[in-house]
């Protein structure tokens, strides 16, 4: 008696389908991590369907998927918008990253095979060799470093979490960055990589922790809950103070 296919999943045959590989999903995620799509912008169904040349139903599925990934918010009868994290969430994201990336770095140091060394050196070489002025290439490469660490930790669950955290970090940065500051100090990555390669676990952990702190401190998370569209605050950020017209 072989397993009945009525209520038992298939052993062979067509592969399961996930929306993670979908070109529309990847396009939107790429646009977010490249800062082309900013938090709060509306993702109209018809507009997306036209851009990606697919049906509205497909777009609907994609948006639902992004909603459950915390990348998009859905307001009934109003549509989907790129998610805008709260200050609390932004802090939680960085806190979670400090915790999770400490664990991944630790796992990588404990698992220093030749392949791991090779991949790490390869990435650092790519980072140092790329065009510093190409802002978009820089963004992609700096994110890839953290993803690579998670991959080298050899744990699919942690890798999934890391990818989600990188995306949500992009949203947090795009929401709370003070204009004109760089994203990720690229010089920190070679230092972290060197300590990992040297087997210095404590040093690597400290360097990663400091690196994440630097990124977070470049944001405006000072509790003063302000609207990211607040014109006054935006001009204050670039050094233009409002005039006190009409004050006593």
Partner DNA sequence: AGCAATAAGATTGCTTCCAATTTTTAAGCA
Partner DNA sequence: TGCTTAAAAATTGGAAGCAATCTTATTGCT
Give the binding site for its own copies (CB under 8 A).
1, 3, 6-11, 13-19, 40-42, 61, 64-65, 67-70, 73-78, 81, 84, 88-89, 92-93, 95-96, 99-100, 103, 155-158, 160-161, 165, 168, 227, 229, 231
Which of these segments, 49-57, 129-137, 150-158, 203-211, binds DNA (CB under 7 A)? 49-57
CA distance 107 to 161: 15
Rounded CA separation 176/154 (Å):
32
> Does residue 77 interact with DNA by CB under 7 A?
yes
Three-state SS at 42? strand
The SS3 assignment for 33 reads: helix
Q: What are the phi and psi torsion angles at 42 (to 5°)?
A: -80, 140
Residue 15 near DNA by CB under 7 A:
no
- 50: its two tokens: 């036209």
Shortest separation between residue 144's beta carbon and its own copies, angstroms: 21
| Residue 88's binding partner out of DNA, its own copies, none, with CB under 5 to 8 Å set by partner kind | its own copies
d(CA 4, CA 8): 6
Chosen from DNA, its own copies, none, partner binding at 55 (C-beta under 5 to 8 Å by type): DNA
Distances (CA, A) of 51 to 24, 41, 45, 74: 10, 16, 10, 20
244: tokens are 């006190």
In the complex with DNA, the residue whose CB is nearer, 66 or 173, is 66
Q: With CB under 7 A as the contact rule, which of the stretches 3-11, 99-107, 172-180, 233-241 interacts with DNA?
A: 3-11
| Partner that binds at residue 243, options DNA, its own copies, none, CB closer than 5 to 8 Å by kind | none
Q: Is 44 among the residues that bind DNA (CB under 7 A)?
A: yes
**Contacting residue, 40, 45, 161, 236, with DNA by CB under 7 A:** 45
Closest CA to 37 of 142, 161, 167, 147: 167
Burial of 190 (0-12, 13-18, 19+ CB in 10 A): middle
Residues found near DNA in the complex (CB under 7 A): 4-6, 10, 13-14, 42, 44-47, 55-58, 60, 74, 76-80
């Amino acid at each position: 008696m072989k397993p009945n296919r009525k209520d038992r999943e298939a052993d062979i045959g067509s592969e399961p389908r996930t929306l993670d590989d979908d070109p529309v999903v990847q396009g939107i995620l790429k646009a977010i991590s490249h800062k082309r799509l900013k938090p709060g912008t509306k993702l109209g169904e018809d507009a997306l369907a036209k851009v990606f040349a697919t049906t509205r139903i497909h777009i609907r599925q994609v948006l639902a998927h992004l909603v459950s990934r915390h990348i998009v918010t859905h307001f009934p009868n109003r549509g989907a918008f790129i998610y805008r994290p709260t200050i609390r969430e932004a802090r939680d994201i960085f806190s979670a990253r400090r915790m999770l990336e400490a664990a991944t770095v630790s796992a990588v140091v404990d698992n220093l095979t030749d392949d791991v060394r090779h991949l790490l050196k390869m990435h650092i070489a790519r980072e140092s060799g790329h065009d510093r002025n190409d802002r978009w290439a820089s963004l992609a490469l700096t994110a890839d470093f953290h993803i690579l660490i998670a991959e080298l930790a050899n744990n699919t669950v942690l890798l999934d979490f890391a990818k989600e955290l990188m995306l949500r970090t992009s949203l947090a940065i795009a929401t709370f960055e003070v204009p004109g500051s760089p994203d990720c100090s690229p010089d920190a990555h070679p230092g972290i990589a060197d300590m990992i390669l040297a087997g210095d676990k404590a040093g690597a952990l400290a360097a990663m922790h400091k690196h994440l702190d630097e990124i977070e401190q470049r944001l405006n998370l000072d509790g003063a809950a302000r609207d990211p569209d607040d014109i006054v605050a935006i001009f204050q950020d670039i050094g233009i103070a409002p005039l006190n017209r009409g004050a006593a």
